[in-house]
């Protein structure tokens, strides 16, 4: 094992989610707009991608961390050679087109299959996945832009392998996007000039691509304050002429790259617009609706971050599992007092097994959560798109799940990566093994695309309150139906009992929070993260029980794969025994929470 071949994929569990639990061959594939993509195609492309990322992407992981980016006087960022090689190979292979519709030259695959591909890519080297954002920008233009913008940008970005970035954050505004001060001034024709400085812009600049198209939030002159006054603009590094050809260098320049604790190969840029040279741009869709438009981008980015955290934890667990099978240390605990007792692989020690099951059950549960959300996205597209007819209910469920995917996965993965490292003992703290880089690279996931508490506020104030809790109650109703159907029969009776109690605790937690809000909105600030985590763990526990029920059925038909299916049951059992009981404590803490912390004088902290 070394950092050069660090990645441990789990295509078997990905296929279990897609084809045995979600049954996408029946529910998603072969139906418009995925009519030309079938199960064989999905399996084959994912098998090929798995081999590709191990061969071409994973080897650049360590160099991405240890060889620094460079920035020249003209604002051009140069990537480490190994990272550039991996990125070029990926782009030329065309796997980034998995998320694109067929009319843009894409695979025409549903979101569930794209998310599977993203898991493999971001697990092998997350920096590579970030630099592929141009494909999503093209898809966004194709969805939100005018016909002229689609013709001028979307297809050119796909065909030319251009890069892209989303540009929101400003130095003084931080997560308060509505406080942004970047301005937009109407120029000639359909052109706008953008002025201002943005910070923490992922892949704001990098070499190896002919152009980079930025999606920039700015405030047109005369527009009102707050988020409602913001508009969304297309601002390229090189101006794109009306015929699609590239023009002169635009006034959108990287003026600094951040020095970070992790994910070092991803260029996190300060971007300066309009300093000495106009930063020319186009209003997206000719509609002053920037924050709503940008949320199409933000929500997908949040989904991607949740997948990144899950994939990192999964690889860390599988690395730890491999190590514990080969590391010989100490006698079996039952024979610890015998001087001549043989030394055993540390996987035989109870505490090590506890740590392994902690990682396994959560990694598989997070994967189940990600694919459950992605499958909702499949059905939204099949039923006609966002907010249309029968798709509306599923669209709202997906919206409810996204803060769980991003907020819970990112927080819990960081906590459990420390457990992965612990399995290696002192060796895990050394650069010889990838876990210390996993920790550093993953920590950012709790911070960008909205911190964990922003996810909690989004869950409670936007996703739950929006429809008076109807979507939440619908989700809890699905959990209740699984209990009523007695999924898994007698074999999972204990797990269903734990799930039933957890369901009651989560209902009680939300009820207690509603009561607290009558006292003060501050209560959300004090307990909001706990509530988000409780709902996420209930949903994960429910999904693991459903997966275990499927595994019990499949084991009978596929006895040769019994070890895998037994592992699914073990994950559900461990999670229900160790994670779900904690929701009772969460309920009690929310019920008894106070605002005493708000009365502590600043000088007393």
449 is known as an active-site residue: yes
Q: Are 272 and 92 in contact (CB under 8 A)?
A: no
Question: Using CA atoms, how far apart are residues 499 and 539, in angstroms rounded to an integer?
Answer: 9
Question: Using CA atoms, how far apart are residues 386 and 405, in angstroms rounded to an integer?
Answer: 19
Question: Using CA atoms, how far apart are residues 518 and 512, in angstroms rounded to an integer?
Answer: 10
What the block records as the tokens of 524 is: 């959300």
| HEC profile of 150-164 | HHHHHHHHHHCCCEE
What the block records as the tokens of 98 is: 């998995």
DSSP character for 180? -
Q: Are 153 and 213 in contact (CB under 8 A)?
A: yes
3-state secondary structure of 184: strand
Beta strands in 203-356 (DSSP E): 212-220, 231-236, 238-240, 246-249, 252-257, 268-273, 279-283, 328-331, 343-345
Q: Are 340 and 331 in contact (CB under 8 A)?
A: no
What the block records as the tokens of 414 is: 């960081």
Which sign does the torsion angle of CA 331, 333, 339, 340 carry?
A: negative
Phi, psi (rounded to 5 degrees) for 464: -90, -50
Q: Are 437 and 3 in contact (CB under 8 A)?
A: yes
The total number of residues shown for the chain amounts to 605
Question: Using CA atoms, how far apart are residues 516 and 534, in angstroms rounded to an integer?
Answer: 17
Exposure string (b/e) for 481-498, b if CB count within 10 Å is 16 or more?
ebeeeebbeeebeebbeb
DSSP character for 250? P
The residue from 50, 99, 449, 495 that is catalytic is: 449
Q: Are 255 and 282 in contact (CB under 8 A)?
A: no
Q: Are 400 and 477 in contact (CB under 8 A)?
A: no
Q: For residue 195, what is the enclosing H or E element?
A: strand 191-202
Question: Using CA atoms, how far apart are residues 274 and 198, in angstroms rounded to an integer?
Answer: 12
Question: Using CA atoms, how far apart are residues 281 and 69, in angstroms rounded to an integer?
Answer: 27
Helices (H), 54-132: 61-66, 81-93, 111-124, 126-131
Active site residues: 449
């Amino acid at each position: 094992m070394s950092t050069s071949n660090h990645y441990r994929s789990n295509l078997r569990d990905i296929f279990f989610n897609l084809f045995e639990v979600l049954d996408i061959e029946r529910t998603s594939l072969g139906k418009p707009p995925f009519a030309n993509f079938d199960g064989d195609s999905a399996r084959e492309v994912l098998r090929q991608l798995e081999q590709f990322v191990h061969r071409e992407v994973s080897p650049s992981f360590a160099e991405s961390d240890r060889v620094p980016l460079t920035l020249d006087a003209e604002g051009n960022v140069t990537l480490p050679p190994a990272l550039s090689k991996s990125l070029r190979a990926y782009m030329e292979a065309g796997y980034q087109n998995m998320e694109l519709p067929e009319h843009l030259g894409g695979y025409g695959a549903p979101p569930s299959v794209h998310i599977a591909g993203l898991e493999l890519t971001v697990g092998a080297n997350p920096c590579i996945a970030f630099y592929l954002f141009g494909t999503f920008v093209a898809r966004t233009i194709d969805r939100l832009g005018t016909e002229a913008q689609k013709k001028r940008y979307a297809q050119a970005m796909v065909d030319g392998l251009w890069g892209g970035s989303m540009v929101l954050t400003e130095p003084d505004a931080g997560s308060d996007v509505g406080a942004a001060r970047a301005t937009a001034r109407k120029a000639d024709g359909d052109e706008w000039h953008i002025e201002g400085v943005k910070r923490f812009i992922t892949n704001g600049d990098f070499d190896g691509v002919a152009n980079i198209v930025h999606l920039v939030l700015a405030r047109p002159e005369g527009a009102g304050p707050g988020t409602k006054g913001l508009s969304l603009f297309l601002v390229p590094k090189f101006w794109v002429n009306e015929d699609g050809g590239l023009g002169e260098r635009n006034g959108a320049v990287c003026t600094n790259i951040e020095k970070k604790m992790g994910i070092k190969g991803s260029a996190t840029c300060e971007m300066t617009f309009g300093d000495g040279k106009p930063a020319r741009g186009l209003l997206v869709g000719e509609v002053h609706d920037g924050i709503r438009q940008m949320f199409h981008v933000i929500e997908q980015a949040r989904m991607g971050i949740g997948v990144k955290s899950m994939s990192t934890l999964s690889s860390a667990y599988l690395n730890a599992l491999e190590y514990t099978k080969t590391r010989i240390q100490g006698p079996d605990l039952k024979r610890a007092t015998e001087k001549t007792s043989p030394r055993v692989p540390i996987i035989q020690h109870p505490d090590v097994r506890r740590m392994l099951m902690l990682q396994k059950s959560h990694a598989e549960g997070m994967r189940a959560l990600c694919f459950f959300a992605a499958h909702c996205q499949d059905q939204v597209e099949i039923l006609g798109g966002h907010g249309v007819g029968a798709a509306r209910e599923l669209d709202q469920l997906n919206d409810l799940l996204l803060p769980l995917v991003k907020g819970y996965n990112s927080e819990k993965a960081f906590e459990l990566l420390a457990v992965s490292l612990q399995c290696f003992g002192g060796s895990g703290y050394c650069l010889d093994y990838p876990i210390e880089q996993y920790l550093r690279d993953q920590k950012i996931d709790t911070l960008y695309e909205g911190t964990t508490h922003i996810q909690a506020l989004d869950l409670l104030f936007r996703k739950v309150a929006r429809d008076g809790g109807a979507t939440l109650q619908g989700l809890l109703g699905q959990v209740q139906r699984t209990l009523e159907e007695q999924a898994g029969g007698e074999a999972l009776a204990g797990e269903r009992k734990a799930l039933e109690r957890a369901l009651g605790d989560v209902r009680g937690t939300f009820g207690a929070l509603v009561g607290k809000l009558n006292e003060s909105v501050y209560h959300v600030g004090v307990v909001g993260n706990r509530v988000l985590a409780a709902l996420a763990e209930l949903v994960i526990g429910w999904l693991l029980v459903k997966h275990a029920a499927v595994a019990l059925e499949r084991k009978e038909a596929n006895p040769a794969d019994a070890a895998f299916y037994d592992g699914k049951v073990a994950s559900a059992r461990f999670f229900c025994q160790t994670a779900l009981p904690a929701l009772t404590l969460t309920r009690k803490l929310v019920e008894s929470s106070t605002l005493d912390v708000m009365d502590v004088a600043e000088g007393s902290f």
